[in-house]
Amino acid sequence: MTTAKIHSFESLGTVDGPGIRFVIFFQGCHLKCKYCHNRDLWDCSIGKEYTMKELCMEVIKHKDFFDHGGGITVTGGEPLLQAEFLAEFFETCQALKIHTALDTAGSVPLTKNVRNVLQHTNLVLLDIKHIDDEKGKELTGSSNKNTLAFAQYLNDKKIPMWIRYVVVPGYTDSPEDVKKLADFLAPMTNIEKIEVLPYHEMGKHKWELMGDKYQLENVKAPTKDSIENIKKILERK
């Protein structure tokens, strides 16, 4: 793969990894999360094509901003759909002493290209959509089996990870499911942080722009109490 399909960049990201991040949004996603706030990133056939040199030049242009304790974060979409390119890109970034973070749902097989990406990844921000396979399929259209195997692999390889869990009332907030997730994560020694994120409707307009019906029309954002309770269960406090 000699080029990557990129949707956009964010030059001063502050939430997708440590420090200031240069965030790169890779085009294309194979999941169909009902709450997706990046509905415009699903289509793998569009996006601006960048060669390795062009993308590295974008990064280098912004290096002064993120150089002190920050780095780059690739997100999407699902960046691992372009794993061959990404592996070489991360290898190049690390050779330039740039911290690499990968924001992913991990919902891909652990192919050689994916393992090559992880070999050059300093931090994975892993979105676990659901611990229950059937409920996960209802929420995202896909099985969670690859994601759970992916988390296990990161732990085995001692690759640092932040867990991200989106609380969607009626879908992901049952205490039983959250306890099951806490049990799954408990033996893992590579988890640096668990982020519990409230569902929001901010991407709704993108569904409408794409001519699609928004899937969670009547779902409200979770309460602060609900978020706190889920945090406590996941952090085992």
Name, in order, each residue with C-beta under 8 angstroms of 225's C-beta and a sequence gap of 6 or more.
none
Contact 125, 78 (CB under 8 A): no
Shortest distance (Å) from residue 33 CB to ligand SF4: 3
Strand 48-51, strand 3-13: pairing: antiparallel
Measured from the CB of residue 35, what is the shortest distance to ligand SF4 in angstroms?
A: 7
Closest distance of CB 31 from ligand SF4, Å: 4
Q: Which CB sits closer to ligand SF4, 33 or 117?
A: 33
Tell me the closest approach of the beta carbon of residue 53 to ligand SF4, in angstroms.
27
The Cα–Cα gap between 37 and 60 comes to 28
Q: Which of 41/185 has CB closer to ligand SF4? A: 41
Beta bridge partners of 24: 9, 74
> Which residues, 6 or more positions from 90, have their beta carbon under 8 angstroms from its beta carbon?
74, 100, 102, 117, 120, 121
| Comparison of 98 and 117: residue with beta carbon closer to ligand SF4 | 117
- Which of 105, 124 has the CB closer to ligand SF4? 105
List residues binding ligand SF4 (CB under 6 A): 29, 31-33, 36, 38, 41, 76-78, 105
**Minimum separation from the CB atom of position 30 to ligand SF4 (A):** 8
Angle CA(177)–CA(158)–CA(30) in degrees, nearest 5? 55
Give 29 or 181: the residue with its C-beta nearer to ligand SF4: 29
